[in-house]
Amino acid sequence: MLIDFPLQAADVPRLDGILVTHANNDHFGVPTCTALNEVTQRFHSTRYVSDLMHERGMPADGHGIGDAFSVGGVRVTVTPADHAWQNAAPQPGQRTFHDEDSCGFWIETLDGVIWAPGDSRLIREHHLTMPTPDALLFDFSDSEWHFTFDGAVEMANAYPDADLLPHHWGSVDSPEFAPFNADPDTLRDVVVNPKRIRATRTGRAFPTGGASDRLNLMQQQNVRVQVISDPARRDSLFWCSGSDRKRRHDHYPAASHRQELIVRGPA
Domains present along the chain, CATH in parentheses: 12-84+99-218+235-264 (3.60.15.10)
Give the Cα separation of 79 and 129 in Å (integer): 12
Rounded mean pLDDT of 141-159?
94
Beta pairing partners, 139: 167
Q: What totals of helices (H) and strands (E) does the chain contain, helices first?
A: 5, 14
Instruction: List helix spans (H) across the chain.
Output: 30-36, 47-55, 124-127, 149-158, 215-220
Give the Cα separation of 76 and 68 in Å (integer): 6
Give the Cα separation of 262 and 244 in Å (integer): 8
Listed residue (48, 43, 54, 34) closest to 81, CA to CA: 48
pLDDT in tens, 19-51: 999 999 889 989 999 999 999 999 999 999 999
pTM of the model: 0.79
Which pLDDT value is given to residue 200? 73
Judge whether residue 227 has pLDDT over 70.
no
Judge whether residue 243 has pLDDT over 50.
no
What distance lies between CA 126 and its chain's CA centroid?
17
Rounded mean pLDDT of 121-140?
96
Q: Would you call 90 exposed, middle or buried from its count of C-beta atoms within 10 A (0-12, 13-18, 19+)?
A: exposed
Rounded mean pLDDT of 106-134?
96
Which pLDDT value is given to residue 208? 61
Which residues neighbour 193 within 8 Å (Cβ) at sequence distance 6 or greater? Answer: 160, 161, 211
Give the Cα separation of 20 and 6 in Å (integer): 21
